[in-house]
Each structure stands twice: as C-alpha cells, then as structure tokens.
Chain A
Amino acid sequence: MSVLVYISTPNGHISKSAIEAVYYGSQIGEVTALANGNVSKDDLANLGKYGAKNVLLHASETEDPSQLSKMIQKAATSASADTIILSYDLIGKAIAPRVSAGMKAGYVPGATTLPDANGLIKTNVFSGKAKGLVKVNTPKRIIGLTPNSIPLVEGNDVATVTDFSEEIGNSSITIKEIKKQEGDILLTEADLVVSAGRGLKGPENWGMVEDLAKTLGAATACSRPVADIGWRPHHEHVGQTGIAIRPNLYIAAGISGAIQHLAGVNQSKTIVVINTDPEAPFFKAADYGVIGDAFEVLPALNEAIKNFKANN
C-alpha cells in the first residue's frame, strides 16, 4: 500500500505533528512525503528515521489551500498513493477537505488511531467528549491525524529527496502581513502546558505562571474569561471556542473547569488541577488535585520542580 504524507513547514521548520503523520503513515504502507517551500533537504532526508522512503519537495512557498490541494493530488497520483495523510492542525484542516472533495475520497478528520483490521479509524467527536469509529467507503482515503495521538519510534534510515515541479495553478490570495505570537513554545505543539484562570485575580499575577512554565519548558494557556477581559492574549485561550490541545501534562490553576473549558483540554494525558474550592468541577477530570491557593502552590511547585531538575 502506498501512502502520501503532506508535511507543512511553517518558517522552514518541520513540526512534530508532521513527523507524527509520517510515522503513522509508515505503519500503514510505504511513505512518500510531500513538502513545499524553503526547507532544508537534510531535514527532509531525516524523515527517513520516522519511516519516509521518499520525499518530494516542491519549490512553491504557497499556503493557499487551492494550490496545495492540486499539489497533493498530483503527488498522490505520482506516488500511486491510496492513503493521504495530513496533520489535523491549522494547515491540514484547511487543505484536507479540498483534497477529499477533489479526489472524491473519504476523509477522516481528527483521527486518533491507525485503521483497524477492518479499516475502521477512531476519531474525536463531540469536542473530545466521545470517539467515533469511521468507515471510509471509497477506494482512496484521506486521514487528518490529531497531533500527539501516537508515540514516535525513531529508526536509522534516510529518505531520498527529489524535486517535484508539477504545475499548481495561480493563487488569488495575497498575504499582506504576518503577525507572530509572542513566546517561544507554541501552545498547540507543547508537551507541557501551564494554564490559569480568574482565580489569579489579575494579569499582574501571571509572573508565577510564567515562572513555572519556564522551569518546566512549558507553554502558557488560559481560560476563556481571562482572554475575554484582556488579561491574556486570545491565542492562549483553550476550550470549546478557543483552541483544543492535548499535551502530556496540563496544569490548571484557578480554573473551575466548566464543561466548555474541559472540551479543549480533556484529551491531555495527565491533568493537574490547583484550586481553593474543593467542589470545583475540574477535580472530576483531574488526575492529580491540589486543594490550595494558587498564589502559594504555584511558587512551591516551581521550587519543587527546580529541585527535581537539579537532582536528575
């Protein structure tokens, strides 16, 4: 079975979710990866470690879903791929439905497992509150892989990188300006996240959240009320209407855990909840709970982690 995996390379960087898509694809069949734009060929050859056999590199830097859909369809034809995999991230979500409609191939968005013996794939539904088991009814299929769903295993192979220069048409979209978010660690890519809510009483108290995040090497996040009143930027808002994340560790301080907040974080592997209110609903979704004042617990946890890191 031949598999095509589209690798998005924002800022020339191969994201962890793209690497996961390659590895996931290698568990299904022989992987040809497709990348475009300004990205190092050495980095692409390195995808061999995660199971890519060949990598096609298209020179166009386009992010236009219309052009990328054409590029992927042509690459799929050239690699005789019957399974096409994209990461279910901001980029994949924009392109995969176009590829599906263009090829008339069934699309499984938000997949969290490999196809089982009957080809059924599990996917997140109801904002992570349930899973659906999806059957694809067409000979070709498109899979949108939820980031951080499968553990990576590294091998020693090197992929062959070849140039791919098929015609992809013109773009009618002109990018005028790009605004970068602040902070070093992207929330959607972070393995560890420290998050806080109204319990912190004001934006001036976020220092202890940032300190803990820095010690851990974590990204920072917040609840919706905190983003809505402007204490924190909107891109940090996780929840039903914000972004959904699934880090290995989610530490929430001063967040009660409304159902809408849980929808954005309930896929996290381990959840730590810090709250003064023992009745806070978030404790029901937590693995570890600390009933206490975030103003005391966060600095104490920061110290404990520093000690741990110093001794390990």
Chain B
Amino acid sequence: MIEVTGLHLRYGGVAALDGVELALRPGEFVALLGASGSGKTTLLRSLAGLEFPDAGQVRIDGRDMAQVPARERGIGFVFQNYALFRHMTVFENIAFGLRIKPRRLRPGRAEIGRRVEELLALVRLPGMGGRYPDQLSGGQRQRVALARALAIEPRVLLLDEPFGALDAKVRKELRHWLRGLHDRLGLTSLFVTHDQDEALELADRVAVMRDGRVVQFDTPEALLAAPADAGVAGFLGDAVPVECEVRGGQAWFAALPPVAVEGVAEGKGIAFLRPVDLLAEPGAGEARVAAARRDGRGVRLTVEAGEVLLEAVPSPGWVPQRGEACRVTVVAARVFPRQDGAGRA
C-alpha cells in the first residue's frame, strides 16, 4: 500500500529524515509516535508531496511518487491547525476538492450538494454548512477538516497531530470516533502524535520515530513487551530508568529486590520500570511511601527506594500513608546494557 524506503531529507544541514523505512498494509491504522523534532511530521508531509526528499522512495500502490505532485496524489491530509479556508463557509470548504476538479470529472451542483451534506452528517455536523471556520469550536473545525479531506474520496488518510489542539475530553471522544470512521470507510490511515496513550490505544501498529528514523514498528502489545532499545523502552509506558547490574540471569538494584532477566549481557545495565512492574506492600522494607493520591483509577502511589522515586501498584486493600515503610517487588523489567544516550527517546 504505502512503502517508504531509505527516505532522506536535510534542512539546512540538519537531517530531518535519516533513512526512513516503513511499509503500511491496506486498511491499517498506524501511528507515527515520537518526540518533537523526531521527523514524524516531515515524513507525513513527504508522503503527501508537501516536502521533497533528497533521497529514497515513496511508493503508493506500487507507484513511485517522486514525480507525482501533491495535487495528483489523491491523499487526504488533515493539518495540525486544520488549515480551513477562512473566507469560505463550512460547506464551501468541504466542496472545494470537488469544485476544482476538471470539468469532465466534476460532479454536478446537486451532486456536490448531496455529497457535502452526506459528509456533514458523517462528521456529525449536520446543518452547520453555512458557518464560517471562526464560528466553530476546535473539535468542530477538526471534523470539518476531516470532512474536507474525505470529500475527494482518498484511499489514504494522513493526519498531523489530529487531536493536538483539543482539550482532553474532546480528544478522547474524537479518538474513538475517528477509529470507527477509519474502519467503516476502509481507509489506510497514518497519524502523527507525540502522545503515547493515543498511539497505543488507537493504532493497529505504532511506528516509533527518533532522530529521523523509524526505530521500531510494531503492534502496541509487542512495543510494550519488547521495546527494541533503551530509547523506546524509556519513551513508552511511563517507564523510569533505574541503574542495575546484570549478574547470573538477574538484574540487581541498589535498593530493590533483584528480578530475573533473559538475554542481557552481564555487567552494568539500565532497567526500565513501569508502574505496573512494581508491586508495593505494607511492612518493613527498603522503600517508603513518598506520595499517595486517589483518583478515578484508584490509588496512585509513589514510593522512594534508595534515591529513586517510582510509581508502583499498591497491594489490594492497602491504604498507603505518606512516610509509611513498604516492600516493593519487581514483577518485570526491560533491561538494556548501559551505554551513552540510554533512556533518551
């Protein structure tokens, strides 16, 4: 469907894309996850024909896109700030892609009107066609941008930080709605995000980007279970890096009990510990409750073990008090040999 091979792009001496490899299957919903500056937006724009890579290839349905201008790619693109045409009504925005088609391909007036109404209903904005973009809320603009992109019936939909500018509640709603829409329309979608929850929750597969490269491309489960390197491990699942020493198949910590690890070279290492990897129980032990806070998900517990602060899961039925001593069991850990740059996403 979409194949990217060896894509390179330099901006004034800085490599924005440094050998990107990526292959999407038809119908997939894929997230491009990475910190800002990792090249994810540049990659997305290169796919749409808005950036011109220095080297490498983008193929869509087997066709090399190098000589195909943006307007002929037939890709739906939703911009980060929506880029709605500010002087046009919602209706005119959505109709734009249809109205500018060459005469022989252009649908008639009535047909365009019908299609726009359909799209307005699809994005749940019926009757809003007469409004101007500045009369809409952020979430509504987002959906108009989506309807406008869908009007040209693209097979590929690219979304740049589609939920970035929305408040948390609207964001969650739109996420699930967008996923449903993707499945219903049979699109192949690629969206850029820096929010790992968003990526892990929505996507079939997640491509993690760093320094202009895709460092791992896998399902959310596989990413969490087996991060490719220390960088990915540190970036996902709120993991905290803790120094350790690997000896005899176990990782030894300064102030935590050891945990079994497999296939890691002996010597100094970095263990990435997520809240779900740590079980805290009351009783005399090496750790102490640093903070405990109740919220909608239960108790958020932070323990202090040696010099590190770690989030941990409290054992059932225990109401931790600040300053209370506790025992922490390490259930699992992802351990990598220590090297410079470890822990960076």
- Is A bound to B? no
